[in-house]
Amino acid sequence: MLVYQPYDGKVITNIPLDNSSTVARKLDLAVKCFADRANWLPAYQRIAILKRLARIVEREAGGLAQLIAREGGKPLADARVEVSRAVNGIEGAASELEHLAGEEIPMGLTAAARDRWAFTTKEPIGVVVAISAFNHPLNLIVHQAVPAIATGCPVIVKPALTTPLTCLRFVEMVYEAGLPELWCQTAIIEDLALAERLATDPRLAFLSFIGSAKVGWHLRSRLAPGTRCALEHGGAAPVIVDRSADVESVVAPLIKGGYYHAGQVCVSVQRIFVHDEIKRQFIDRFTDRVKILKIGDPTLPDTEVGPLILPKEVDRVGDWVTQAVNAGATLAVGGKRISDRVFEPTVLVEPPPDARVSHEEIFGPVTCIYGYTELDEAIRRANSLPVAFQASVFARDIDSALRAARYLDASAVMVNDHTAFRTDWMPFAGHRRSGYGIGGIPYTMRDMTQDKMIVLKLPS
């Protein structure tokens, strides 16, 4: 399979694909590996492996960042941040193992329970399959595979076909750190039916899926009884800019949140609701900054906006923008393709509610600005979609900030920061159509373990 650079379409390399035979063999090996309880890796070994892995990733940071920029199109400056976060995530998983423990269960509370002592221990849940997305080709793998490694679950990772190289390199580093190969394998699968068979195999204990809602919910409906899952989809992240907000300090974080990785982020700033009193000032400042974003080759250190992952995505984003303008939106800046792989950072003002940019995830370098008169109106409009992930409010008035934080339908509300803010130890979850379960390394580690209770009957 050929792997291309999304910026210019040049071939990076050719890698082999897995077929039904190799996928079946890998799954069989993972199942047998887990079934051999005598050879489970003790916690101290897993901690040591993760600590060595963090140092290896840190050592190879420059090459990993370049690889992310080349195969994923993420600007190099942001790719460097992704590698740094990956190191933090690995270290965090090792630290979390020090606190991942069972508890004593009280006995003797009834006559029937006297002379007994009970406690729980944590055990790995079983084989994990992780299906990942292209937009964070290292850090998403870390968030899916490292909790499995940490808790002692064999994991098979299927990276996005557009960005497999970072995953393959990371797994090589996992082996270099000392993890036996059976505990972490990759599956490079082009056949969608084969990928579905892997994800829904009845021997699977946990499916971690990051990608489109359509695929994720379909896979969940096909899971075998007892298989746990975590789904991370997208949204159309809302931002409320209160009349009390300082416009000058609001623009920079919203530019970052809206155009980071060309908007290809599941919690990217998309819908910006600005109070009418400051709307004109905000639009002027915001569009002035969008106009000077540095667009170009993602491997260059000063690039701020790179390509979309595939040419068809440029076509799609262009179609959505055209539809919105034809329906009455004002095109404040952008709106055109720079090449068949790069789309201009774009700002639309007042696209109608039925325009796709107003109610579906754009996943491109487009933000939409809407005016409002009352805060509750903005909250109602922000909450009007069947998706809900992260949201934000900008306000210097504490009452407005807290009211929005209380009533916005979101798993996380950022106050005076953009919607794409995230650290690797915080919970990360979409509500309703946006996802299922809670991401974030400590939370995923808990999901990948199960309690075993041991009850001792003591001598009378």
Question: Active-site positions?
Answer: 232, 266
φ, ψ dihedrals at 90, nearest 5°: -65, -45
Find tokens 């994800």 and name the residue: 199
Q: Are 186 and 168 in contact (CB under 8 A)?
A: yes
Residue 94, classed as helix, strand or coil, is helix
d(CA 290, CA 288): 6
Give per-residue burial for 311-331: e unless 16+ CB within 10 Å, then b.
bebbebbbebbeebbeeebeb
Q: Which of 382, 393, 398 is nearest to 415 (CA)?
A: 393
Residue 319 CB contacts under 8 Å (≥ 6 apart), including other chains: none
Q: Which amino acid would we find at residue 178?
A: G
Cα 447 from Cα 437, distance rounded (Å): 9
CB-based contact 169:13 (threshold 8 Å): no
- How far CA 299 is from CA of 58, 280, 295, 303, in Å, comes to 19, 36, 11, 8
